[in-house]
Structure 1
Amino acid sequence: MNLSSKYEFSLEVDPRRTRDTQLKILRDFGFKRISLGVQDFDPEVQRLVNRTQPFEMTERITELSRKLGYTSVNFDLIYGLPKQNLQNMKRTIKKTLELRPDRIAFYSYAHVPWLKASQRLFTEVDLPSGSAKRELYEVSREMFLKAGYIEIGMDHFALESDSLFQAVKNGNLHRNFMGYTAKTTDMLLGLGVSAISDSWDCFHQNEKIVKKYQKRIYSEGFATLRGHKLNEEDLIQRSLILQLSTSGKVIVPEEILREVRLYLASMEDDTLVRWEGNLLSLTEKGRPFLRNVCTSLDLRLRRKSPELRVFSSSI
């Protein structure tokens, strides 16, 4: 297979189902970075989210990936899951640090039982409250930082040896809908069931059900489920959000400046952001609220949901 020297192939695997031969074949094909779905290591939390995955299983896939030559191993963790508390969250982070993944994506749990049947195994009573969830994040974040990880934008942590940190240092950090990347590109190709592709001005998602996906691939060659074409306003806002989420600052165009400043007034009062003319900057205190600050630039979202508040999605 002929490959560009500038490509980056990455894959996400489920340690419960991934076979050794799969990892070897994909590494031989040029995949260099691997992401492991973990969520949490606590048995009770795993039972409630219907994802039983012993630590030893994740440990084995992590060690095998490194042995096969994958250059970066990433863990996806989630805070705010049912029955999570400070005690078991600390255990999960300690176990994570034992394996020392190169990158950690630390996502906030979203409770949408009407979309995901597995979430009907528990109720909102089982979920940590807003303040408790925030504490889970802050304590975990502190553990990552003490262990030598660097906080990257929102939701991500990386070791200094990882290319993601080098991208921050060199000023060429990029972000797509999947997260942060050291490669800047306007094209992201998603292959397989439910995969999403991004050509910068258009999003495209494949069928989510295997049988439907296979049937359409065989009959049509494509299995598009849905898509979205960005208009000129979308593209401008996307560029602004990208700059803010990767550098922590952005020059806001004059035509939307008043609207953005008004939306962020309470955050400015709390010294989470600061203004120098049209230049909007995130303060160190405001780093945990980067996602909320980015929302100020997403006019489509705010017009669609005018009731959205500046702190509504911070945790």
Structure 2
Amino acid sequence: MELDFAKYIKYSKPGPRYTSYPTALEFNDTYKYEQYIQKLESQDSSRPISLYFHLPFCKNACYFCGCNVVFTSKEDKMLRYIEYLKRELIILSGHVDCKREVIQMHFGGGTPTFFSAEQLKIIIDEIKSYFPNFVDDAEISCEIDPRHINEAQMKVMSEAGFNRVSFGIQDFNEKVQIAVHRVQPYEITKNAMDLARKYNMVSVNVDLIYGLPFQTLETFKETLSLALSLSPDRFAVFNYAHVPWLKKTMRKIDETTLPLADEKLQIMQYTIDFLTSNGYKMVGMDHFAKPEDELFKAIEKGELHRNFQGYTTKGGADLIGVGLTSIGEGVDSYNQNFKDMKLYEEAIDANRLPFERGVVLNEDDQIRQYVIMELMSNFKIDINRFQKLFDIEFKVYFADAIKELEPFALEDLIIMNDEKIECSQTGTLLVRNIAMAFDAYMHQHASSTKTFSKTV
């Protein structure tokens, strides 16, 4: 795939990653607690559940990280958090039909495996005591820092039905690792991979990031070769989102050491060519998987979904977030827990769910959510399907968006006709830009350079 560097740099501008629509920037406190509870209690009991548990603790800061984390090495803080998770589940069970089928569960962080094997078992057992009806093919996954995983932990997860793990690598080059405060030799990652295979994890993903300090095309080639030798089922290769105005730890990165746009584009092009020539195929934005992966069947049917956990085949579920800063998603709403531990605990102490803010989707939001998520997941919009679903004339409703997309069509980045809007192979790399044309809120943020990370 040959990229026109000048063209792609031209399209580089701040834009959302669209793990939700509306994005988290639109979450607000006009969505009140009582309204949130009403939304929970009125959920359709025939819809399955997806569970997300945020386990926020890390021992040290990785300077590139954009996650909501709590740095500690104190055992009592972690035990205290487990007790509050238990109490949150008690309150939640009073507002949700916990007997509904669970088709997905994800542990994110932080570093979930910073908790010991015994502590993980306590958390898992507690969850399953409230949500007993996990389907046989439930997708149960955990984010893992290879520096913090041992056999006892992997055994607990395997016995509990975990079948997917994601290992953070980012980069194997020692100079890069030192610069981002995450030294992780290859042998440590290989040992973690061997454990995952030993305990029959169905799918193992590895995360890489390009755009980090001191990275060059040559150093990243070495990282890719080493990562390939681990034979993961999926790769997630992210463009580093440098947002120091949001994440204080990113201020520790010397911006003069970050690769320039040309270098990043060369890395991106080489990554695509390297992984596709070694048997992987591009799936959604930033993701690659082996051809036998279930994600490909979903793409062929137009049934790939995107949520806060990434790409999944498990759509049509209500997402319930538990723990500090967790985000949930209903049919027409998003909700987020407190990010501040003190406020999180105070809410639970008052026998309330730790809900802080969210957004209720109006009709226009739901229409645009469908279109944007179709683009982000399946790289296309079936116009006939849309019109049957919403009883709306697509080209009339989205006249402004279609006009905005005309340059993309002229440059063969999309195919646009009466039946579909579909990204070309190169257009998939700019899918965030393409989706932005349908975002009704973008004009509010257009003048700000400190809102989103850059799309290229």
Q: Aligned match of 1:110 in 241, 249, 256?
A: 241
Change (3 A) 1:26 1:191: farther
Q: Aligned match of 2:277 in 111, 121, 146?
A: 146
Distance in 1, matches of 2:226 and 2:185, equals 11
Change (3 A) 1:292 1:119: same
Name the aligned partner's letter for residue 114 of structure 1. W
Q: Is the 8 A contact 2:326 2:336 kept in 1?
A: yes
Q: Deviations over 1:47-101 (max 9, x none)?
A: 2222222221111111101111111011111111111111111111111101111
Q: Aligned match of 1:266 in 403, 407, 429?
A: 407
Confirm whether residue 254 of structure 1 aligns to residue 395 of structure 2: yes
Confirm whether residue 18 of structure 1 aligns to residue 159 of structure 2: no
Q: Aligned match of 2:429 in 270, 288, 296?
A: 288
Q: Displacement of 1:207 after TM fit?
A: 3.5
Change (3 A) 1:193 1:175: same
Q: Aligned match of 1:305 in 431, 445, 451?
A: 445
Q: Displacement of 1:152 after TM fit?
A: 0.7
Name the aligned partner's letter for residue 255 of structure 1. V
Name the aligned partner's letter for residue 292 of structure 1. N
Q: Aligned match of 1:52 in 183, 192, 197?
A: 183
Distance in 2, matches of 1:199 and 1:91, equals 43
Normalising by structure 1, we get a TM-score of 0.90
Q: Is the 8 A contact 1:292 1:314 kept in 2?
A: yes
Q: Is the 8 A contact 1:292 1:313 kept in 2?
A: no
Please show how residues 133-282 of structure 1 align to structure 2 within 5 Å. 133-209=264-340, 213-214=344-345, 216-220=347-351, 222-250=353-381, 251=383, 253-277=394-418, 279-282=420-423
Change (3 A) 1:4 1:285: closer
Q: Displacement of 1:216 after TM fit?
A: 4.2
Normalising by structure 2, we get a TM-score of 0.64
Distance in 2, matches of 1:43 and 1:18, equals 21
Change (3 A) 1:119 1:145: same
Q: Deviations over 1:155-189 (max 9, x none)?
A: 11001222222322344222213321122233223
Q: Displacement of 1:142 after TM fit?
A: 0.9
Higher mean alpha-carbon deviation, 211-220 vs 30-39, is at 211-220
Name the aligned partner's letter for residue 98 of structure 1. S
Q: Is the 8 A contact 1:49 1:118 kept in 2?
A: no
Q: Displacement of 1:150 after TM fit?
A: 0.6
Q: Is the 8 A contact 2:171 2:223 kept in 1?
A: yes
Q: Is the 8 A contact 1:103 1:159 kept in 2?
A: yes
SS of 2:238's partner is: strand
Distance in 2, matches of 1:77 and 1:237, equals 31
Q: Is the 8 A contact 1:254 1:278 kept in 2?
A: no
Change (3 A) 1:25 1:221: farther
Q: Displacement of 1:4 after TM fit?
A: 2.5
Q: Deviations over 1:282-312 (max 9, x none)?
A: 1223221122111111122x22223489xx9
Change (3 A) 1:39 1:190: farther
Distance in 1, matches of 2:423 and 2:430, equals 9
Name the aligned partner's letter for residue 155 of structure 1. D
Q: Is the 8 A contact 1:151 1:157 kept in 2?
A: yes
SS of 2:370's partner is: helix
Distance in 1, matches of 2:349 and 2:146, equals 29
Name the aligned partner's letter for residue 260 of structure 2. S
Q: Displacement of 1:260 after TM fit?
A: 0.9
Fraction of identical pairs, as percent: 36
Q: Displacement of 1:109 after TM fit?
A: 0.8
Higher mean alpha-carbon deviation, 118-127 vs 196-205, is at 196-205
Confirm whether residue 91 of structure 1 aligns to residue 232 of structure 2: no
Q: Please tell me the root mean square deviation across aligned C-alpha atoms, in Å.
A: 2.3
Counterpart in the other structure of 2:160: 29
Q: Deviations over 1:257-295 (max 9, x none)?
A: 321122122212211112212631212232211221111
Q: Aligned match of 2:194 in 63, 85, 106?
A: 63
Higher mean alpha-carbon deviation, 104-113 vs 190-199, is at 190-199
Change (3 A) 1:221 1:183: same
Higher mean alpha-carbon deviation, 202-211 vs 181-190, is at 202-211
In our comparison, the structure showing a higher alpha carbon Rg is 2
Change (3 A) 1:215 1:57: farther
SS of 1:133's partner is: helix
Q: Is the 8 A contact 1:153 1:290 kept in 2?
A: no
**Unpaired runs of 5+ in structure 1?**
none
Name the aligned partner's letter for residue 141 of structure 2. S
Name the aligned partner's letter for residue 5 of structure 1. D
Higher mean alpha-carbon deviation, 45-54 vs 1-10, is at 1-10
Distance in 2, matches of 1:71 and 1:134, equals 32
Distance in 1, matches of 2:350 and 2:174, equals 43
Name the aligned partner's letter for residue 409 of structure 2. E
SS of 2:282's partner is: strand
Higher mean alpha-carbon deviation, 246-255 vs 171-180, is at 246-255
